[in-house]
Structure 1
Amino acid sequence: MDFFRAQDRARRLTGRLVLLLLLAVAGLVVVASVLVALAVVLFDGQVMGTDPLARALEPELFGLVALGVLAVVVAGGLVRHLQLRAGGSVVAEALGGRLLNPDARDANERQLLNVVEEMAIASGMPVPAVYLLEDAAINAFAAGHEPHDAAIGVTRGAIEHLDREQLQGVIAHEFSHILHGDMRLNLRLVALLHGILVIGLVGRLLLRGAAAGGRGRSSRRGGGGHVALFGLGAALMLVGYAGTLCGNLIKSAVSRQREFLADASAVQYTRNPEGIGRALQTLAAYRLGSRLMSPQAAEFSHLYFGSGVRHLSRWTATHPPLEARIRRVLPRWDGSLPEPFAPTPKAAPAKPAAGTGQGESRREDLGRALGGAALAGAVVASVGRPDAESLASARRRLAHLDERLVDAAHQPCAARALVYGILMGADPASREAQRRVLDQQALPEVLHELEALEAPLATLAPGDRLPLIELALPVLRQLSAAQFARFRQCLAGLMAAETAPGPLQWALHRLVLTGIEGERRARRDRHLRDLAGPLSLLLSTLARAGQGSPEAQAESLEQAGRALGVSLDLVREAPSAADLDWALGRLVRLAQAERAPLLAAMVCCVEHDGHIAPEEAELLRAVAWTLGCPLPLREATGQGRHGAAR
């Protein structure tokens, strides 16, 4: 399944689940309303000679009670949704996770961060926050609403008992959940199920109130009311927990299928079924298994790599049996498992050798000398589907980056300086003006780091800017509100002081802000035919970056327009950053099905003779990222035109 169909499927599945749960809620509201209305009648104490059920079902009383019960369910779900609004970090912290310092020195923690960074850069998406759960179980999860607020949590048991190959399989599994849109679905399920559970919690409170208020009053006139209150509380508890069971059955059925898909995707991403397969075998042989000790583990059970909690039956299990998962990825498995073992830490992992493989080139090529149409099709097919080549490219890219720049990306002050240095223009006059802006607005310690990075930044190769920004994003997301406000002010000052800002500089600038704040969420209901103006502006910009002569630019734009079925006009003058922001702000509202043709048109505009130069590839990946289309990293075989995208 390709990226765009997977995203569409996730959205349709979300709608169906919401509908099923709403039907369950409707049934619960009816039952609970009848019980509450009946209790109200009984509380009145005037039931002699009347039919209590008939009085309870009177339209006015029943409607009022139904609205009250529905309000309780909606309020409970809304409160939980607001609590989870900040994204995956809320889930990780609720489970007792500790945010890993990107500059961690512990060997196991450093290996985990390296694997996550490699997978993020290979898949062309932001590096997520990484949390460590001090739990001896072997487990992991991915949580969040969008890639920019995603968090990956891994247990201490996993990093101590899985080798690098196995850990890479587990992380690839979690990245599949991010890329296929499972995270948003999972958090919505948490909120909806919490709303249903509130009915049961209200019933429990009523039971406690009836028990406390009824002591010593059984012979008084109000004793009947307390009996009714006790019965109502018990009934609401039963209804609430029955609804929760119903919701869990729906959640579990969907979750099991998503786990199979994530396992298959992990094999596809790494081209190594042994990694994920042996990780599952290790989990099956581990005495502590995947069970988490957190009190809130059950609420998030459908997020985990392993089941994480005990289930009453296979119907409520959120994960398929481990044996079934192993056979899916290792069809020739003979059923044998490692000897059962107890928690004992593994030896510290050795640092992987740099530059494995042949042809260690530092340039990207998204086409491998394919023709224009074939190249565009290959790029679209690769979205959200990193593979072994992407991972190897990311590992080599990270190994060849200057260590001073990599270290800077992991430090709060140095990361800001690194981004400033990357976004400063190549023209000496522009750099002087931009440095004056930073002298006025940036913190002294950040300026000091910028001076220290001038030498390695001067030798930065084309294609290395985007990976460095990706590495810096987790640190930048941790800035305080005041620090981020200053950081954003400095970025705006850099763009304003640039004499001739190029499209790549604009795209990287926008990528930094999108990677920290996310793109403003809007309904994705626009169609290509309605966006001729924004399309002409963006595609003209890409055509100028990829084609030399005005004639070639016009030809590539005309070709893109024919492919899109939209009449496009070549914008000959370079647009401002504000104009490009306007265009992209409208294009992010494209319906999911319309994004693949747009991406293909973007490729046609920048490619020339079947090749994409490193600067052009960086521009294409940056724009695609902000459109929600993560492009995997590829290496080049040819030389790029220096400065083409600047």
Structure 2
Amino acid sequence: MDFFTAQDRARRLTGRLVLLLGLAVVVLIVVTSVVVAIAVVLLDGGPYTGAALERALQSRLLLAVATVVILVVGLGSLVRHLQLRAGGSVVAEALGGRPLNLETRDVNERQLINLVEEMAIASGMPVPLVYLLEDPAINAFAAGHELDDVAIGVTRGAIEALDRDQLQGVIAHEFSHILHGDMRINLRLVALLHGILVIGLIGRMLLHASGSGRRMRSRRGRGHAAVLGLGAALMVVGYAGTLCGNLIKAAVSRQREFLADASAVQYTRNPEGIGGALKVLAAHRLGSRLLASHAAEFSHLYFGSGVRSLSRLTATHPPLEARIRQVLPSWDGSLPPPPTIRVPRPQQSATPTPGGAQGSTPQASGALAAAVVASVGRPSAEDIAHARRRLGEIDERLFEAAHEPFAARALVYGILMGADPSSREAQRQALKGQALPEVLRELEVLDAPLSGLAPGQRLPLIELALPALRQLSAAQHARFQACLRRLMALEIRAGALQWALHRLVIQGIQGERRARRDRHLADLAGPLSLLLSTLARAGQQDEEQARSAVERLASVLGVTLDFVSEPALASDLDWAMARLVRLVQAERRPLLVAMSCCVEHDGRIDPEEAELLSVVAWTLGCPLPSAERSAGQAETGTA
């Protein structure tokens, strides 16, 4: 299943879930309305006669009660949605996780960070925040709404009981949930189920209030009994609705777990990695059960079940034996010895073997574009190995700087300062008036390694620095943004790549306002012309060739395109992207094909063009593994 199909399927699945849960809410509203209406009539006094029941079932009273119930459920869901709006970090902190120190000396923690960084860069997305749960269970999760607010949490038991290949399989499993859109569904489920649960919580509050001996304004006997009955009925109805919601959630979650396990094998080309992790989990006496008080609320997010389920119907995960046999069909049923908390031996993953074709798309006009688009949201073992090599080639001083907040700011300033000497001098003077002295000192230290930065290394360094930059305080963040704006304003010849990297930093730290996807390619001729013209000119001196590439794409997209010959300003490109992010999901594939064709119209994709394409694709919500590597595969016939 390719990225675009997976995203469409995730959206359809979300719609079905909302419909099923909506039906559960309708039933809940009907039953609750009748119960509350009867209780209201009984509290008014009078004999228990048919007339009382008739009064309770009056349409006006039922409508009023139904409105209140809808408001309660809706308000409960909205409050929980707003609480989770910040993304995966809220979930990680609710489960007791702490963000990992990016400069940690702990071998296990360092290995975890390295694996997440490798997987993120291989996937073409910013490095997510990594949280550690000090829990002896073996478990992990990925949570977030969009690619720029993802958090990955892993337990202490997982990083100490699993070796490198097994932990890589677990991380690949979680990245599958990210790339297939599961995490967005999961957080929406949390909010919807919380709204239904509120009815049961109100019932419990009424029971508690009545049981504590609070006097009612109405007659003690009859009124008190009615309130007790109302509370009990609301508890039953609310928890029954929650049970129905959990059954729906569990049925969907089990299938997504099988898909994530299979994707982990596809990404790593190592079934023993994820399979070995599942076997260690099965042998672990503590299993995957988490100790956090909110563990049950987020049970469908975990690598393992995380909580004890009363029956298979409510289990959010398939049995471990079934999962193991899916990835290791020849498994004989044996398990390793129960793991102990240990430091795993340093291991090097086996060199991945070249895979077969990943498919192509009929709209692609070239082999390179086909290879690039086929790789969206589908990182391979070769991508992971390529990311590991890229990280290993980076100067150690720059690599360490990306993991420390002061040095990370200096690193980003140095990367975003223009190549033109006069621009760099003006920008340096501006930083002296705005940046902190500690950051300026770090910038001086990094001058030498930055001058030797190889093509293609800027993007991974910025991706590595984003977690450290997200830890800035509000005041530090405001100063940092002011410095970035000043650097861009003083740039004499701001190239497209500089604009893209600048945009990546801003959006990667603070996210971008989520836009409605309600525009079609035919509505976006102006923004398309500007973006595609910019991509066609990147790395290309011959303007006529760039013009020809854009004109050829007009017939492919079915849109009238006008080649923009003048270099676009950063503000113009921001304007174009603000409109293109509203493109409907179904038409993002042809747009990505057109972007790839623009970049490779001269028959190759150089490192800077690959970086530009990756950043723009990520802004559009299409995580793109190394376009440069995909191009190399296409040229050799392996993609």
Question: TM tier, shorter chain?
Answer: over 0.9
Q: Judge conservation of contact 2:117–2:127 (CA < 8 Å) in 1.
A: yes
2:168 equivalent in structure 1:
168
1:6 equivalent in structure 2:
6
* Aligned equivalent of 1:283, options 275, 281, 284: 281
Q: Judge conservation of contact 1:87–1:144 (CA < 8 Å) in 2.
A: yes
Distance in 1 (CA, whole Å) between partners of 2:165 and 2:52 is 67
1:346 equivalent in structure 2:
342
Q: What SS does the aligned partner of 1:417 have? A: helix
Distance in 1 (CA, whole Å) between partners of 2:50 and 2:608 is 83
Distance in 1 (CA, whole Å) between partners of 2:285 and 2:48 is 63
1:302 partner letter: H
1:306 equivalent in structure 2:
304
CA offset digits 1:540-563 (Å, max 9, x no partner)? 011111433122111111122121
CA offset digits 1:233-280 (Å, max 9, x no partner)? 000000001000000000000000110111111111111111001110
* Aligned equivalent of 1:489, options 482, 485, 488: 482
CA offset digits 1:151-183 (Å, max 9, x no partner)? 100000000000000000000000011111111
Q: Judge conservation of contact 2:549–2:601 (CA < 8 Å) in 1.
A: no
Structure 1 residue 349 displacement after superposition: 3.7
1:335 equivalent in structure 2:
333
Structure 1 residue 466 displacement after superposition: 0.2
2:118 equivalent in structure 1:
118
Structure 1 residue 212 displacement after superposition: 2.0
In structure 2, relative to structure 1, the CA distance for the partners of 1:481 and 1:138 (3 Å cut) is same
Q: What SS does the aligned partner of 1:210 have? A: helix
Structure 1 residue 415 displacement after superposition: 0.3
Structure 1 residue 78 displacement after superposition: 1.1
CA offset digits 1:509-528 (Å, max 9, x no partner)? 01111111222211111111
Structure 2 residue runs without a partner (length 5+): 355-359, 633-639
1:507 equivalent in structure 2:
500
Paired residues, what number?
624
CA offset digits 1:349-384 (Å, max 9, x no partner)? 42759x97899xxxxxxx9xxx95221111111001
Structure 1 residue 618 displacement after superposition: 1.1
Q: Judge conservation of contact 2:164–2:344 (CA < 8 Å) in 1.
A: no
In structure 2, relative to structure 1, the CA distance for the partners of 1:553 and 1:463 (3 Å cut) is same
Identity over aligned pairs, percent: 73
Distance in 1 (CA, whole Å) between partners of 2:27 and 2:145 is 29
Distance in 1 (CA, whole Å) between partners of 2:594 and 2:55 is 66
Q: Judge conservation of contact 1:393–1:634 (CA < 8 Å) in 2.
A: no
1:234 equivalent in structure 2:
232
2:52 equivalent in structure 1:
52
Distance in 1 (CA, whole Å) between partners of 2:539 and 2:485 is 26
Structure 1 residue 347 displacement after superposition: 2.9
Q: Judge conservation of contact 1:556–1:605 (CA < 8 Å) in 2.
A: yes
Structure 1 residue 308 displacement after superposition: 0.5
2:18 partner letter: V
Distance in 2 (CA, whole Å) between partners of 1:65 and 1:257 is 38
* Aligned equivalent of 1:373, options 360, 366, 383: 366
Distance in 2 (CA, whole Å) between partners of 1:637 and 1:325 is 31
Q: What SS does the aligned partner of 2:516 have? A: coil
Q: What SS does the aligned partner of 2:131 have? A: strand
Distance in 1 (CA, whole Å) between partners of 2:377 and 2:22 is 32
2:528 equivalent in structure 1:
535
2:420 equivalent in structure 1:
427
In structure 2, relative to structure 1, the CA distance for the partners of 1:308 and 1:525 (3 Å cut) is same
Q: Judge conservation of contact 2:613–2:627 (CA < 8 Å) in 1.
A: no
Residues 1:611 and 2:604 aligned together: yes
More divergent stretch after superposition (628-637 vs 198-207): 628-637
Q: Judge conservation of contact 1:434–1:494 (CA < 8 Å) in 2.
A: yes
* Aligned equivalent of 1:263, options 226, 248, 261: 261
CA offset digits 1:315-361 (Å, max 9, x no partner)? 0000011111111111222222223x25x2223542759x97899xx
Q: Judge conservation of contact 1:356–1:396 (CA < 8 Å) in 2.
A: no
2:451 partner letter: A
1:147 partner letter: L
Q: What SS does the aligned partner of 2:456 have? A: coil
Q: What SS does the aligned partner of 1:486 have? A: helix
Q: What SS does the aligned partner of 1:315 have? A: helix
1:514 partner letter: Q
2:29 equivalent in structure 1:
29
More divergent stretch after superposition (63-72 vs 457-466): 63-72
Q: What SS does the aligned partner of 1:453 have? A: helix
Structure 1 residue 222 displacement after superposition: 2.1
CA offset digits 1:90-140 (Å, max 9, x no partner)? 111111111101111100000000000000011000111111111100000
* Aligned equivalent of 1:439, options 404, 429, 432: 432
Q: Judge conservation of contact 1:33–1:65 (CA < 8 Å) in 2.
A: yes
In structure 2, relative to structure 1, the CA distance for the partners of 1:461 and 1:231 (3 Å cut) is same
2:636 equivalent in structure 1:
none
Q: Judge conservation of contact 1:546–1:605 (CA < 8 Å) in 2.
A: no
2:127 equivalent in structure 1:
127
Structure 1 residue 36 displacement after superposition: 0.6
Q: Judge conservation of contact 1:42–1:228 (CA < 8 Å) in 2.
A: yes
2:314 equivalent in structure 1:
316
Structure 1 residue 312 displacement after superposition: 0.7
Q: What SS does the aligned partner of 2:312 have? A: coil
Mapping for residues 195-214 of structure 1, pairs under 5 Å: 195-213=195-213
Q: What SS does the aligned partner of 1:575 have? A: coil
Distance in 1 (CA, whole Å) between partners of 2:50 and 2:310 is 44
1:141 equivalent in structure 2:
141
2:565 partner letter: R
Distance in 2 (CA, whole Å) between partners of 1:375 and 1:293 is 49
* Aligned equivalent of 1:458, options 430, 443, 451: 451
Q: Judge conservation of contact 1:547–1:608 (CA < 8 Å) in 2.
A: no
2:251 equivalent in structure 1:
253
More divergent stretch after superposition (221-230 vs 151-160): 221-230
> What value does the CA root-mean-square deviation take over the aligned residues?
2.0
Structure 1 residue 51 displacement after superposition: 2.5
Q: Judge conservation of contact 2:35–2:230 (CA < 8 Å) in 1.
A: yes
1:107 equivalent in structure 2:
107
1:75 equivalent in structure 2:
75
More divergent stretch after superposition (293-302 vs 477-486): 477-486
Distance in 1 (CA, whole Å) between partners of 2:343 and 2:435 is 44
Distance in 1 (CA, whole Å) between partners of 2:305 and 2:601 is 49
Structure 1 residue 637 displacement after superposition: 11
Q: Judge conservation of contact 1:372–1:607 (CA < 8 Å) in 2.
A: no
Q: Judge conservation of contact 2:123–2:377 (CA < 8 Å) in 1.
A: yes
What TM-score does the superposition give when structure 2 sets the normalisation length? 0.95
2:574 equivalent in structure 1:
581
Residues 1:523 and 2:509 aligned together: no
In structure 2, relative to structure 1, the CA distance for the partners of 1:411 and 1:221 (3 Å cut) is closer
Distance in 2 (CA, whole Å) between partners of 1:267 and 1:636 is 20
Q: What SS does the aligned partner of 1:153 have? A: strand
Q: What SS does the aligned partner of 1:287 have? A: coil
Q: What SS does the aligned partner of 2:562 have? A: coil
Distance in 2 (CA, whole Å) between partners of 1:608 and 1:381 is 18
More divergent stretch after superposition (444-453 vs 606-615): 606-615
Q: What SS does the aligned partner of 1:282 have? A: helix
Distance in 1 (CA, whole Å) between partners of 2:79 and 2:544 is 57
2:473 equivalent in structure 1:
480
Q: What SS does the aligned partner of 2:308 have? A: coil
Q: Judge conservation of contact 2:269–2:352 (CA < 8 Å) in 1.
A: no
Q: Judge conservation of contact 1:203–1:233 (CA < 8 Å) in 2.
A: yes
